[in-house]
Copies of this chain bind each other. A is one copy, B any other.
Amino acid sequence: MSDFTDNLKPRHDGAATLTAERNGSLISSDELSKHLLSRDGFLPRQARIVEILEKEKLFSKNQQLNLSRPERYHLGLARAKALRRMVEKHGWDHEDYRMAEYLTDEMSPFHLQMTMFATTVREQASEEQKAYWMPKILDWSIIGCYAQSELGHGSNVKGLETQAKWDPKAKEFVLHSPYLTASKWWNGAMGRTATHAIVVAQLLLPGKDNPAQFTSYGPQPFIVQIRDLKTHQPLPGIIVGDIGPKYGYASMDNGYMLFDQFRIPHSAMLSRYAEVNNETGAFTKRGHHAVLYGSLTFVRAQIIMHARLILARAVTVAVRYTAIRRQFRNRDSKDESEPEMAILDYPTVQIRILPLLATTFALHYTGEMMYDLYSRTRQSIEKGDFSAIAELHSASSGLKSLCTTLAADGIETCRRAMGGHGFGGGSGLVGINADYLSKPTVEGDNWMITQQVAAYLIKKMTAAVENPDAPPADALDELFQMYLRDSGRRLPQNVVHGSEVDDEAIVDVFQWRAADLSYRAYQSRIIEKKSWNSLLIQLHKLSRAYSEQILITNFHAALTNPASTSTLSPTTHSVLRSCFRLYALFTMDNEARSFSSTNAVCTDSLDVLPDTILALMAEIRPHAVKLVDSWAIPDYLLDSALGRYDGKVYEKLFDMAHRQNPLNQVTFNRDWRSEEIVLGSGDGGKPILSKL
């Protein structure tokens, strides 16, 4: 298929541009990569696994955007099974397997097996149940899913409608769906893949006096076989299937499931924490879900660490492409022969991308802090002592909300900053955007869960007001006590002196604002006794301000901690400090009135924020390509013509269009009088009609 385009080159050489960008910065991206990505041997593991995946045809992403949704599930299942075989073949450990899933970059139908399914059995099953189920799970002879959400209920778990009635005569539970809205819904891997499910259902026990009257003991987990192990057909009394196409998650079979008086044995109820006595039918609860509390913090830390890599991926594409893309000469230039400007040199492009680049680091240091604290206090957590991470656990709701919102919005901001090609498949952002848009909703809706952190802050502020001199149990107590001492004589602070940014003042004003908003919430709820619902918007803003303060505090602490930064060269350290300032001042500028109305920052400082931000962006700009290189996203994962490491943007875009697009293999009949679609086929338009 040789033709005259074979010898054409782009007018400007993207590869040379990126080389010049890299030569223009003294940052060592290797050094910074190691600083950012050394936990659990991330970098060598990534290098080892990506080399294997890249060679497998099944893992090629070239045609993914041309597949239909049903085909994407076929592919997802094929890849899930192949990955399992690769575990055996290459002797991968669990982290290797997770890395392979991460690099494959789609929600796998096997994803729930070792996460929600295995974790629930491990944490909530009795020892006897574990002994029975874990081996089957670990050799993958059964495939599991986790069936909690229903058509009518997601966030409000207590409102689930699926019933599990105890039949004392048969010593069985009867699973039943009394309403259409009781249908299990959204549960991953359930639609077409799973053989078993953890079904969360309202436990209903018959009354002692009146056995026809049932009392609910709340939602409880049951482990249930849902499909025949040979025929893979649903068992009688079960209706189960895939819910159909969604925004993203094309490769995953999110499912629905209903029960018609479906009987399961007594042993199906996971009974580490709650049990129905087989003989008496009495309900016993034991212990707290203490471990869950700790592992939720760990999961939230993972969400933040994942968010930073997602955002880093979008920013990598945007920085590399906008460094290469040229459009318009400098409007003030008189020189007609001057080349067009790289669009990353326009402040209107910088203001969209560089603060997000800075945000990747902000997320990083808080994620690291959460991991560290969790590992350091793991033993006390196992024993049910959460004093060390109590605040963090509470804050984790606010952080989940803030960080996934920043990442989800950031992908789209990067995409739009890339103009026309940002809308094309070559951006590499189509799939990541569609999939990641789930995150602001799943694992706690980003608006709803901010109530949890606000409630905690009100409780802590109430305690601080009532006992202003009590010995502080944690940093939050200290902050609130300081706030209560100083609020009468607080002067709004300067964060910029002349052209000097004051890092300590930045930390102070973010903390002060969070404390002030906490006090206002306390005032409204506890003193003025306003209704909870009337405060929801205020509480959401409080949670966000508090979470921003955490990101700021941890970012600053990391930059001033010699242990954390000893491996960094002075240049790198200095650029990271500019990123800290940019993230902080950009956030402050966007919410400027919140910083003035809380007496945190003085008007003079707020007035100079736009110019200070411009200056910080100019400082960071020469290092932008090296900074994104440091996130070490492999081309295989980026899957982006615009974001390629080598800068061959236009060559790749053209290759995708001209040599890889299957639509170009077909010649069409454009005559409106004819029903034929493929020219000369005589199809009469029937093939496409038959798919509707």
Interface membership of A204, Cβ < 8 A: no
Binds B, one of A23-31, A627-635, A658-666: A658-666
Min CB distance, A614 to chain B, in Å? 7
* A37-94 with Cβ < 8 A to chain B: 57-58, 60, 62-63, 65-71, 73-75, 77-78, 80-81, 84-85
Of A85, A340, A419, A423, the most chain B CB neighbours within 10 A belong to A423
Binds B, one of A241-249, A278-286, A462-470: A241-249
Nearest neighbor of A659 in chain B, beta-carbon distance: B241
Cβ-defined contact, A258 with B8, below 8 A: yes
Q: Residues of A within 8 Å of B, CB-based: how many? A: 155
Q: Which of B66, B77, B153 contacts A670 (CB 8 A)?
A: B77
* Bound CA–CA A593/B614 (angstroms): 19
* A320-375 with Cβ < 8 A to chain B: 326-328, 330-332, 340, 345-349, 351-352
Binds B, one of A126-134, A180-188, A207-215, A473-481: A180-188
Cβ-defined contact, B58 with A8, below 8 A: no
Q: Which of B247, B415, B672 contacts A85 (CB 8 A)?
A: B672
Cβ-defined contact, A149 with B420, below 8 A: yes
Evaluate whether A243 and B70 lie within 8 angstroms (CB atoms) in the complex, with A11-B182, A348-B536 already known: no
The residues of B that contact A67 with a CB separation of less than 8 Å are 68, 691
Min CB distance, A77 to chain B, in Å? 6
Of A74, A244, A260, A349, the most chain B CB neighbours within 10 A belong to A244
Cβ-defined contact, B425 with A440, below 8 A: no
* Bound CA–CA A327/B244 (angstroms): 24
Interface membership of A377, Cβ < 8 A: no
Min CB distance, A116 to chain B, in Å? 16
Q: Which of B75, B242, B537 contacts A614 (CB 8 A)?
A: B537
Of A140, A195, A691, the most chain B CB neighbours within 10 A belong to A691
Interface membership of A540, Cβ < 8 A: yes
Cβ-defined contact, B245 with A327, below 8 A: no
Interface membership of A682, Cβ < 8 A: no
Min CB distance, A25 to chain B, in Å? 22
Cβ-defined contact, A664 with B181, below 8 A: no
Cβ-defined contact, A688 with B650, below 8 A: no
The residues of B that contact A149 with a CB separation of less than 8 Å are 420
Of A447, A532, A664, A673, the most chain B CB neighbours within 10 A belong to A664
Cβ-defined contact, B192 with A60, below 8 A: no
Nearest neighbor of A113 in chain B, beta-carbon distance: B672
Interface membership of A511, Cβ < 8 A: no
Cβ-defined contact, A242 with B657, below 8 A: yes
Cβ-defined contact, B143 with A670, below 8 A: yes
Cβ-defined contact, B430 with A245, below 8 A: yes
Evaluate whether A672 and B84 lie within 8 angstroms (CB atoms) in the complex, with A419-B155, A420-B149, A679-B232 already known: yes
Total identical chains: 2
Cβ-defined contact, B260 with A4, below 8 A: yes
Cβ-defined contact, B673 with A156, below 8 A: no
Cβ-defined contact, B154 with A419, below 8 A: yes
* Bound CA–CA A426/B244 (angstroms): 9
Min CB distance, A248 to chain B, in Å? 8
Interface membership of A531, Cβ < 8 A: yes
The residues of B that contact A331 with a CB separation of less than 8 Å are 532-533
Cβ-defined contact, B63 with A692, below 8 A: yes
Cβ-defined contact, A422 with B447, below 8 A: no
Interface membership of A159, Cβ < 8 A: yes
* Bound CA–CA A331/B156 (angstroms): 12
Interface membership of A171, Cβ < 8 A: no
The residues of B that contact A217 with a CB separation of less than 8 Å are none
* Bound CA–CA A445/B448 (angstroms): 35
Min CB distance, A539 to chain B, in Å? 9
The residues of B that contact A161 with a CB separation of less than 8 Å are 11
Q: Which of B57, B244, B445 contacts A657 (CB 8 A)?
A: B244
The residues of B that contact A425 with a CB separation of less than 8 Å are 244-247
29 pairs from A and B in contact (CB 8 Å cutoff): A3-B239, A5-B183, A8-B178, A9-B180, A63-B692, A65-B245, A69-B663, A71-B688, A77-B670, A78-B675, A78-B677, A152-B326, A155-B328, A180-B650, A180-B651, A186-B420, A186-B424, A244-B424, A244-B425, A244-B426, A244-B661, A245-B425, A246-B425, A248-B423, A330-B533, A347-B534, A347-B537, A534-B614, A596-B596
**Lowest 9 CB-CB distances: which A-B pairs, in order?**
A65-B245, A84-B672, A68-B68, A592-B593, A241-B664, A245-B425, A8-B180, A4-B260, A11-B179
